[in-house]
């Protein structure tokens, strides 16, 4: 895909993998909208990247707030008229690992799904009219290997015993399933939709109870999102990937 003059938006992009995804897309020549719930933080992060000569623009977007999503869509339409790439990166992990699958509160489940699933869907639905104006739009949903049901059932899998954060895990399974449905609906529209596992990355989300806090640097964690955001027209759709490896659902 020719990235020149293309417009991308990355949600949850004021830090971590989201921020690095913005950086790598901008380094590829994509004009990238750095979206965050807190506008001041988004502006601060965007200014730092702009100072490096990168084509980055801040935008306020809270994926759990319908009014914020609608305003972001209006802003993008007014400024750019279309959207070529949407990276749904925003996500939270609020499970208490000590409570396991049976003990998480309903509030934990609702809060998790509000951001990780419903917010992702709401944002995509609101921006889809702008994506349809692109000649070759791409949607990348950031999931996790923890969303793989088959790997959770495989005793040989590295995630087999990682059942202590069920709301997060199941929310990512839901993201994977929705990706398949959305890709099917958009298969004839020139819009490719894929879901990704960024890897076990050293981020704040992975620090709980783990001294290593992940295995990969943040730059590595952004690579799969960027690769799928920039695939050519003969690239995959409806897939689940880590780098160029197809993952089991």
Average pLDDT for runs of 10 along the chain of length 249: 77 97 98 97 98 98 98 98 98 96 97 98 98 97 98 96 96 98 96 95 51 68 97 97 96
Q: Which residues of 53-71 are buried (b: 16+ CB within 10 A; e: fewer)?
A: ebbbbbbbbbbbeeebbeb
Active-site residue, from 99, 133, 160, 172: 172
Asked, for residue 2, whether it belongs to a domain, the answer is no
Q: What's residue 214's pLDDT?
A: 57
Residue 185: other Cβ atoms inside 10 A: 12
Q: What's residue 205's pLDDT?
A: 52
| Active-site annotation holds for 168 | yes
Burial of 50 (0-12, 13-18, 19+ CB in 10 A): middle
Asked, for residue 161, whether it belongs to a domain, the answer is yes
Asked, for residue 208, whether it belongs to a domain, the answer is yes
Asked, for residue 220, whether it belongs to a domain, the answer is yes
Are 87 and 75 spatial neighbours (Cβ–Cβ below 8 Å)?
no
Q: What's residue 57's pLDDT?
A: 98
Asked, for residue 60, whether it belongs to a domain, the answer is yes
Active-site residue, from 99, 133, 163, 168: 168
CATH number at 152 reads: 3.40.50.720
- Between CA 35 and CA 32 the distance in angstroms is 9
**Total structural domains in the chain?**
1
| pTM attached to this predicted model | 0.94
Degrees (nearest 5) of the Cα angle 202, 206, 209? 120
Q: Which domain holds residue 229?
A: 7-246
Q: What is the CA radius of gyration of the chain?
A: 17
Token couple for 235: 């690239």
> Helices 218-229 and 16-27 meet at what angle, rounded to 10?
50
Closest CA to 135 of 57, 76, 192: 192
| Active-site annotation holds for 187 | no
CA-based end-to-end distance of the chain: 27
Burial of 168 (0-12, 13-18, 19+ CB in 10 A): buried
Are 93 and 165 spatial neighbours (Cβ–Cβ below 8 Å)?
yes
Asked, for residue 134, whether it belongs to a domain, the answer is yes
Q: What's residue 209's pLDDT?
A: 37
Q: What's residue 208's pLDDT?
A: 43
- Between CA 151 and CA 176 the distance in angstroms is 13
Token couple for 232: 């050519």
Asked, for residue 1, whether it belongs to a domain, the answer is no
Are 217 and 202 spatial neighbours (Cβ–Cβ below 8 Å)?
yes
């Amino acid at each position: 895909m020719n990235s020149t003059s293309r417009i991308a938006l990355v949600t949850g992009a004021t830090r971590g993998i989201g921020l690095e995804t913005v950086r790598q897309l901008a380094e590829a020549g994509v004009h990238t909208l750095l979206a965050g719930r807190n506008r001041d933080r988004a502006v601060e992060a965007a200014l730092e990247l702009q100072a490096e000569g990168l084509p980055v623009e801040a935008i306020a977007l809270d994926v759990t707030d319908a009014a914020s999503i609608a305003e972001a869509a209006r802003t993008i339409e007014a400024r750019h008229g279309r959207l070529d790439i949407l990276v749904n990166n925003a996500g939270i992990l609020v499970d208490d690992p000590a409570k396991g699958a049976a003990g998480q509160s309903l509030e934990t489940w609702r809060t998790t799904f509000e951001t990780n699933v419903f917010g992702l869907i709401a944002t995509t639905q609101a921006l889809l009219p702008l994506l349809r104006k692109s000649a070759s739009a791409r949607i990348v949903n950031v999931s996790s290997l923890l969303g793989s049901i088959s790997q959770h059932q495989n005793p040989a899998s590295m995630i087999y015993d990682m059942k202590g954060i069920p709301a997060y895990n199941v929310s990512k399974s839901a993201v994977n399933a929705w990706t398949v449905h959305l890709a099917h609906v958009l298969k004839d529209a020139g819009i490719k939709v894929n879901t990704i596992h960024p890897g076990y990355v050293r981020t704040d989300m992975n620090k709980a109870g783990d001294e290593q806090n992940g295995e990969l640097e943040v730059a590595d964690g952004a690579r799969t999102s960027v690769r799928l955001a920039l695939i050519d027209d003969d690239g995959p759709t409806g897939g689940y990937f880590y780098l160029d490896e197809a993952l089991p659902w």
